[in-house]
């Protein structure tokens, strides 16, 4: 299995970005999902005071240990997601697959440049990941 980092808005969405991540983990088992939100799931971690340094360095380490990132791009303000995309493309050098329902004319050239694939739904994004990642020997 390949580890796929799940990137997307957290701060400015109602469910803190948990809904789509949980849905993928429960319904699409083609990959091992590396979810940055998991750090808040255990009691010990939930009670931990996470500093900005802790959050960013934890997420960058997760990206470094992933084979690709799957980005749920939404029309909400976000700072971390574009930085994760940029880091993944330029430093970690892993494929960046974007899932978005935005109209093609609303997608930034910066996002298009850094994306290996842009898909309108999660099934398309998973197909793109299957195409982009090396398949294990049969």
| 66 pLDDT more than 90 | yes
Domains belonging to the chain, first-starting first, are 3-132 (3.40.50.11200)
Q: What's the Cα-to-Cα distance from 22 to each of 15, 28, 53, 77, 126, rounded to whole Å?
A: 11, 10, 25, 21, 15
Q: Check whether 65 has a pLDDT greater than 80.
A: yes
Instruction: Indicate the average pLDDT of the chain.
Output: 90
Q: Is the pLDDT reported for residue 2 higher than 70?
A: no
Position 44 confidence tier, pLDDT thresholds 50, 70, 90: low
Quickly state the pLDDT bin for 125 (edges 50, 70, 90). very high
pLDDT of 1: 44
Q: How far apart are CA 1 and CA 39, in angstroms?
A: 21
Q: According to the 3-state scheme, what is the secondary structure of 45-89? A: HHHCCCCHHHHHHHHHHHHHCCCEEEEEECCCCCCHHHHHHHHHH
> Is the pTM here over 0.85, yes or no?
yes
């Amino acid at each position: 299995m390949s580890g796929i980092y799940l990137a997307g808005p957290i701060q400015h969405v109602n469910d803190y970005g948990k809904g789509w991540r949980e849905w993928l983990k429960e319904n699409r088992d083609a990959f091992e999902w590396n979810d940055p939100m998991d750090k808040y799931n255990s009691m010990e971690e939930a009670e931990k005071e996470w500093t900005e340094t802790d959050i960013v360095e934890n997420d960058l380490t997760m990206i470094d240990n992933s084979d690709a990132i799957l980005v749920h791009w939404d029309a909400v303000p976000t700072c971390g997601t574009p930085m994760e995309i940029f880091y993944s493309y330029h430093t970690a050098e892993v494929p960046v697959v974007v899932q978005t329902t935005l109209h093609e004319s609303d997608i930034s050239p910066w996002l298009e440049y850094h994306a290996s694939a842009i898909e309108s739904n999660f099934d398309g994004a998973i197909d793109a990941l299957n195409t982009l990642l090396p398949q294990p020997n049969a």
